[in-house]
Structure formats: structure tokens, C-alpha cells
């Protein structure tokens, strides 16, 4: 029997997104990920633990947060991550500057669905819906199972964006509930994949084939990073893999950007931020030309 959970850990909900699939969509970012991509723009997603986020540039030094903390921490000055902080959010409530926030909070399926339901008309008229993202959303398959059931009842279209690193057997009942799946392929060389993400690529490539076999339309998303995977050899191998195993999938290249740095600072883990080079338009077009030469269709949502 498939397991269900009426609560889950949500990083954030992004309304009116036009980059995560067809039409106007709400993207539900679920916490937790087993990879540690060196270019990750969402490091708050790595664990499901609630954590205090501090945006130093917004702080005016009023110290209201310090008076609100029940365990006498000084949120605007303390070292973070801080094991003593319970992420209770009392300091967030009093900060008028929105300099504090809690990342990764527990939400009930009913509250989340109620919020989504309000936008059902936008979804219907734009051909949109919801897109699950993360983190790796399938790690919270018990929560997704409940949400997908409700969205199905309400006639709300569901897409998912996955890194592919999950146990397929645990989630296979969910796959047909999506009308489209974005799956990331980051590198075709497993050793390099491991160096850059902490895990080899075998499970991801196997899951790509298993998802494809279900017949749900797929887009392969490739985070493109000059120092990592934009060389012709890797692009050719990726194209060959898609052509052989996922012949009707289209692809989208997602050029690396350094905007995630602000998140590392706000979480107090700036030392973990690794800068890479953003590809030029010419480099991206060159990679697209290689995919086109294999007859692979290009799509751009971002
Ligand atoms: S309450 Fe907000 S603005 Fe005031 S000191 Fe704390 S973090 Fe800064
Ligand atoms: S989240 Fe709670 S425990 Fe943590 S600093 Fe703020 S008030 Fe204190
Ligand atoms: S798979 Fe996505 S969320 Fe997970 S570490 Fe990589 S970039 Fe970050």
C-alpha cells in the first residue's frame, strides 16, 4: 500500500510562475535533496530542517528581534547555522524590515490545496497548473501523493521538476499523475558527476529510462556550466543518450548564474558558495546546434 502524509516540508511556493511549464503555474518547492551540486542555487533545500534566514542588507539594527527571542539569542548578530535556534519564527514576526525569514516550514496538505485552489481559474484560462520542484520533490512522495490526489479531484494540472535521484519503485504510482516531467541530466561521465554533485549518475540515467517508458512527456533540463558540462564531448554524449533512450524528449539548457550567492549569505554558509562561469549566448547556441544536429527538439521555458 502506498504511503501518504498529510503534512510536508515546503521551502516556498511561487505564484504566477511562467517558467516552470505551460501557462501560469504555482511552483511548490519541497525540501530535501541527496545531491550537493556545487552550483546549487537553492542550498536551503538540502535538508528538511527549518532554518532562520537573515538578509543583512535589509536590517536597520532596531534589535526588536533580540527582545522577541524566547531563548535570548540575537538573531541579527548570531553565527548561523545555529544549533540552539529552534526556528520558532518569533523574531521573524517582529521584524518590520523582512530581514528575517524561516526557510523550510511544515505545511498541511489542506492549507496548501486551499491556497492553490484560489488560482484555479488562472490555471484553467492559461493552460497552467502546479509544478513540483525542490530540492528533490520525490523525496517527499508521501506528501506529494496526497497533494496529487487532491489536485486530480480539482482538475488542476500537475508537472514535476526532478533531479532524478530517487527510488523509482517507491514513486512509480505517482508518475502517471503528471502531464509533464522535467528531468535534469547534469553530466554523462559518472566520475565527474560524482565530483560535482556528490553522487554518480547511474540512478538518474536509469530513472530517466523508467520515466520515459511510462509515456509521460519529458523535457531534459541541463544546467549548463562552462567548467562542468558544456564541452562538446559531454554535449554529444548527452545527445546520444537522449536519442537512444528518450527519443521524443525535448531539451532545455539552463545557463548557470551566480544569483544563488545571496542565499548562501542569508543562510550563513557563504564559505560553501563556489563561483562558476556563466556561459555566453554563443556557447549556449553552439550546444543547442549539437542537439539539433541529432534531431532533438529544443524548448525554452526559462
Ligand atoms: S528586527 Fe529585523 S531589522 Fe530589526 S535588528 Fe532584527 S533583523 Fe534587523
Ligand atoms: S527563530 Fe526563534 S529561536 Fe531562532 S533566533 Fe528567532 S526567535 Fe530565537
Ligand atoms: S539537485 Fe537541485 S536542489 Fe539538489 S543540490 Fe543539485 S541543484 Fe541543488
pLDDT at 32: 98
50 Cα to the center of ligand 2, angstroms: 11
Ligand 1 in reach of 64 Cβ (< 6 A): yes
Q: Whose CA is nearest to atom 2 of ligand 1?
A: 95
Give me the CATH number covering residue 212: 3.20.20.70
**Contact between 246 and 214 (Cβ < 8 Å):** no
Q: Is 254 helix (H, G, I), strand (E, B) or coil?
A: strand
45 Cα to the center of ligand 1, angstroms: 24
How many percent of the chain have pLDDT more than 70? 100
In a domain? residue 271: yes
Compute the distance between CA of residue 127 and CA of residue 21 in angstroms, rounded to an integer: 10
Do 139 and 265 have their domain in common?
yes
pLDDT (average), residues 193-215: 98
Domain housing 36: 7-48+107-293
In a domain? residue 301: no
The distance of Cα 99 from the centroid of its chain, to the nearest Å, equals 23
Ligand nearest to the backbone CA of 133: 3
Do 57 and 199 have their domain in common?
no
pLDDT greater than 80 at residue 1: no
How many percent of the chain have pLDDT more than 90? 97
pLDDT digits (tens, 9 = 90+) for 115-150: 999 999 999 999 999 999 999 999 999 999 999 999
Q: Whose CA is nearest to atom 3 of ligand 3?
A: 135
pLDDT at 284: 97
Quick one: which atom of ligand 1 is closest to the CA of 63?
5
Give me the CATH number covering residue 94: 3.30.70.20
Do 116 and 257 have their domain in common?
yes
Quick one: which atom of ligand 3 is closest to the CA of 39?
7
pLDDT (average), residues 190-213: 98
Quick one: which atom of ligand 1 is closest to the CA of 98?
2
Ligand 3 in reach of 31 Cβ (< 6 A): no
Do 35 and 134 have their domain in common?
yes
Q: Ligand 2 test: best mutation among 84, 91, 93, 267, most atoms within 8 Å of CB? A: 91
Do 241 and 152 have their domain in common?
yes
pLDDT greater than 80 at residue 151: yes
- Exposed e or buried b for every residue in 86-96, given b needs 16+ CB within 10 A? ebeebbbebbe
Task: Name the domain count of the chain.
Answer: 2
55 backbone dihedrals φ, ψ, rounded to 5°: -100, 95
pLDDT at 2: 82
Ligand nearest to the backbone CA of 91: 2
Residue ending a domain, among 103, 137, 168, is 103
Do 92 and 151 have their domain in common?
no
All three cell numbers of 69, joined, read: 527571542
pLDDT digits (tens, 9 = 90+) for 31-52: 999 999 999 999 999 999 999 9
Do 85 and 157 have their domain in common?
no
Ligand nearest to the backbone CA of 186: 3
Ligand nearest to the backbone CA of 95: 1
Do 134 and 226 have their domain in common?
yes
298 Cα to the center of ligand 2, angstroms: 46
Amino acid at each position: 500500500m502506498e504511503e501518504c502524509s498529510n503534512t510536508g516540508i515546503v521551502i516556498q511556493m511561487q505564484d504566477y510562475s511562467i517558467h516552470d511549464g505551460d501557462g501560469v503555474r504555482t511552483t511548490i518547492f519541497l525540501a530535501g535533496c541527496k545531491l550537493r551540486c556545487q552550483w546549487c542555487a537553492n542550498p536551503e533545500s538540502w535538508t528538511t530542517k527549518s532554518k532562520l534566514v537573515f538578509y543583512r542588507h535589509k536590517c536597520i539594527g532596531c534589535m526588536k528581534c533580540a527582545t522577541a527571542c524566547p531563548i535570548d539569542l540575537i538573531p541579527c548578530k548570531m553565527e548561523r547555522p545555529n544549533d540552539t535556534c529552534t526556528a520558532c519564527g518569533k523574531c521573524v514576526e517582529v521584524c518590520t524590515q523582512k530581514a528575517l525569514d524561516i526557510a523550510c516550514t511544515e505545511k498541511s496538505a489542506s492549507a496548501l490545496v486551499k491556497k492553490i485552489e484560489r488560482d484555479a481559474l488562472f490555471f484553467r484560462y492559461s493552460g497552467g497548473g502546479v509544478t513540483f520542484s525542490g530540492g528533490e520533490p520525490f523525496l517527499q512522495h508521501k506528501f506529494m501523493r496526497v497533494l496529487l490526489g487532491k489536485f486530480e479531484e480539482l482538475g488542476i494540472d500537475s508537472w514535476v521538476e526532478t533531479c532524478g535521484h530517487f527510488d523509482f519503485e517507491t514513486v512509480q504510482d505517482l508518475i502517471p499523475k503528471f502531464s509533464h516531467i522535467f528531468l535534469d541530466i547534469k553530466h554523462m561521465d559518472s566520475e565527474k558527476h560524482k565530483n560535482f554533485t556528490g553522487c554518480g549518475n547511474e540512478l538518474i540515467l536509469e530513472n530517466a529510462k523508467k520515466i520515459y517508458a511510462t509515456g509521460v512527456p519529458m523535457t531534459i533540463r541541463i544546467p549548463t556550466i562552462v567548467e562542468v558540462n558544456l564541452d562538446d564531448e559531454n554535449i554529444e554524449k548527452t545527445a546520444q543518450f537522449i536519442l537512444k533512450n528518450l527519443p521524443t524528449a525535448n531539451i532545455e539548457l539552463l545557463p548557470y548564474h551566480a544569483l544563488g550567492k545571496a542565499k548562501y549569505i542569508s543562510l550563513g554558509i557563504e564559505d560553501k558558495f563556489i563561483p562558476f562561469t556563466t556561459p555566453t549566448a554563443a556557447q549556449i547556441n553552439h550546444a543547442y546546434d549539437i542537439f539539433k544536429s541529432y534531431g532533438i527538439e529544443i524548448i525554452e521555458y526559462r
